[in-house]
Structure 1
Amino acid sequence: MANTSQSKKRARQNETRNEINRARRSRIRTFVRKVEEAIAAGNAEAAKTALLAAEPELARGVTKGVLHKNTVSRKVSRLSARVKALSAN
């Protein structure tokens, strides 16, 4: 348990940041899930639209420190490849 006033404050701050980061991660996952659902349904137009909405959310996750930039880069790359393959069919 935190003893000093500084460590007590840091514990409070950590709780707050944890809630905010959890909400951000959840929001990002929702956007990615919408893209994946559109791909699974075979709807190329909806998948493309969902991907365009998801990319800025993923990028925002990097700037806010929730996700690593390489992770986001990999996710965007793989999703866009799947959308592109769906559009080609």
Structure 2
Amino acid sequence: MTLNAKAALTCPNKDFFPEWRDLTGNAIYKSDKIPLEAENRWNDMLIRLIKLVLFLAVVGLIGLTGFSFFGDMAPRTAPQSSTVTLDGG
């Protein structure tokens, strides 16, 4: 008797043909390992966070460089004098 995947899903005797993922709940041992998918998601998130920090550092350095060149844009000053008449008693 050959058993393919489709026949296993519709098999009336599923108790006699359990799949490996159905047996993990009844296992004697419990694995403390993180599933591979969760570990990959963690690594992807960490890589994205590092890329974000590097991008913000580069943008900050560009902003600091621009401020150092164009930050001293104070207007030119010249002495001004004007006469003021005060009503004194």
TM-score tier, shorter chain, comes to 0.3 to 0.5
More helix, by proportion: 1
**Considering only CA atoms, is the larger Rg found in Structure 1 or Structure 2?**
2
Normalising by structure 1, report the TM-score: 0.37
- Say which structure, 1 or 2, has more relative contact order (CA 8 Å, 6+ apart): 1
Normalising by structure 2, report the TM-score: 0.37
